[in-house]
Amino acid sequence: MKTILVTGATRGLGLAFAEALSKLDDVELILGVRDLEAGRRVASDLRGRVQVAKLDMASRTSITRFVSTWDRPLYGLINNAGLQNVGDTSFSKDGDELTLAVNHLGPNLLMRGLLPYMQGGCVLGIGSGTHNPEDKDAARFGFRGGRFSSIAALAQGETDAQTQRQAGFDRYATSKLLAMAVVPEMARCVPATRFVTLDPGLMPGTGLVRSAPAVVRLVWRAVLPLLVPLMSGASTPQASAAAGLTLLLDPELGQSGGTYHYDAKPSTGVWSKVNDPEFGRIVLEQTDAHLGLDPVGALRRAS
Ligand SMILES: NC(=O)c1ccc[n+]([C@@H]2O[C@H](COP(=O)([O-])OP(=O)(O)OC[C@H]3O[C@@H](n4cnc5c(N)ncnc54)[C@H](OP(=O)(O)O)[C@@H]3O)[C@@H](O)[C@H]2O)c1
C-alpha cells in the first residue's frame, strides 16, 4: 500500500490527481485541504481509501501541526496547492507575501517535515512555463518570467513592476521559478528520495485565475477549455494529472531532479536557471534560513 498526500485537492489539477489516485487499488490517499468541508465533499465522491486532513499552505502553524501528527511511511507528496493573485499584494499570517507563501515556502516546509517518513518515494512539485522569460506562450499572456532578488525581499512583497497586474504575474512566475529550482537541488542533496517537477501546461477552466477581472474569468472558464486541442502548450487537469502520476510512480520515467511536461516527457521549456546548481543552492539556503530550517544543503557538503 502506497500512502500519497495531495495538497489543494479540492479543485482543478489537485482534484484530477485525487480522482485518478482513488482508482488505484494499492494507494491510500490523503487530501490535504484548507477547507475541510470542501475536502470531505470531494472524498465522498471518491472510492478507495481516502482521508481528509486540514492543511493550509499559507500557514506555517497549520503545516507544522499537520507534520506533527504524521506517523507513518509516506510514498508520495504532490505539492499541488497554488494560487495566482493579480489583486492587491496580500500577506500570510506569518507576514510573507501570499503567492510566495503558498507556492514556494509552504511546500518546502511541508516537504522538509515529511522527508523523514519518505524512503525511496517521490516529491512531485508543480511548475509552470511562466517561470521562463523565454516562453513565448506565457509572454503572450503578459508574463515576463521569474524575477529573483532574494527570498527576504520577495517575502516583503518587493517588486519593480509598474502595474498591480504585472506585479501579480511576476509574483506567480517567480514563485514557480523558485519551486522548480529547489527540485534539482534537493535531488543533489537527498538522493534517497526522488524530486520531480511537472509542468502541467496551460489548463484553462481551473480556479487559478479567480483574482482576475470578470471578463478574464469568463473567457478562462467558458471559452479557452474549448480551444485546448488547438492551443500550443495547453492541457486538461485530467491529462496533466495522468502524466504527473506516471512520473510519481515510475522512477524510470520521473528521474530525480527532472522537469517534465504534461505528456510525461522531459520538458524542453525549462529556463537554464532551474538547473543551475549555484542558483538552486542560493534559493534553498535562503528558503531554509527564512523558514528557520536546518540547511538541507549541509547534507550534500558533508557527504
Ligand atoms: N491552471 C493552469 O493553467 C496552471 C498552469 C501551470 C501550473 N499550474 C499549477 O497547478 C496547480 C493547481 O492549480 P489549478 O490550476 O488547479 O488551480 P485551482 O483550481 O485554483 O486549484 C488550486 C488548489 O489549491 C488550493 N489552495 C489554494 N491556496 C491554498 C492554501 N493556502 N492552502 C491549501 N490549499 C490551497 C485550492 O484550494 P481551495 O479550493 O480551498 O481554494 C485548490 O484546491 C498550482 O500549483 C498552479 O500553480 C496551473
Q: Is 83 in the pocket of ligand 1 (CB under 6 A)?
A: yes
Beta strands of the chain (E only): which ranges?
Answer: 2-7, 27-33, 49-54, 76-79, 122-126, 194-198, 259-260
Report the separation in Å between the CA atom of 118 and the middle of ligand 1, taken as the mean of its atom positions.
24
251-278 pLDDT, tens digit each? 999 999 999 999 999 999 999 999 999 9
C-beta neighbour count of 26 within 10 angstroms: 10
Q: What percent of the chain has pLDDT over 90?
A: 96
Residue among 117, 144, 159, 109 at smallest CA distance from 30: 117
125-172 pLDDT, tens digit each? 999 999 999 999 999 999 999 999 999 999 999 999 999 999 999 999
> Which pLDDT score, from 0 to 100, does residue 302 have?
55
Single pTM value for the model = 0.97
> Which pLDDT score, from 0 to 100, does residue 303 have?
52
> Which pLDDT score, from 0 to 100, does residue 119 have?
84
> Which pLDDT score, from 0 to 100, does residue 131 have?
98
The answer, yes or no, to whether residue 301 has pLDDT greater than 80, is no
Q: Which of 64, 77, 83, 202 to mutate to test the pocket of ligand 1 (most atoms within 8 A of CB)?
A: 83
- Cα–Cα distance for residue pair 2/172, rounded to 1 Å: 32
The answer, yes or no, to whether residue 300 has pLDDT greater than 80, is no
What atom of ligand 1 comes closest to residue 209's alpha carbon? 20
CA triple 262-268-271, angle to 5 deg: 110
> Which pLDDT score, from 0 to 100, does residue 299 have?
66
Q: Is 132 in the pocket of ligand 1 (CB under 6 A)?
A: no
Q: What is the 3-state secondary structure (H, E, C) of 161-194?
A: CCCHHHHHHHHHHHHHHHHHHHHHHHHHHCCCCE
- Cα–Cα distance for residue pair 282/124, rounded to 1 Å: 21
Q: Is 174 in the pocket of ligand 1 (CB under 6 A)?
A: no
What atom of ligand 1 comes closest to residue 35's alpha carbon? 40
Report the separation in Å between the CA atom of 210 and the middle of ligand 1, taken as the mean of its atom positions.
10
Q: Is the dihedral of CA 210, 215, 216, 222 positive or negative?
A: positive
Q: Measured between alpha carbons, how far is residue 159 from residues 40, 120, 153, 167, 280 in Å?
A: 38, 39, 8, 6, 21
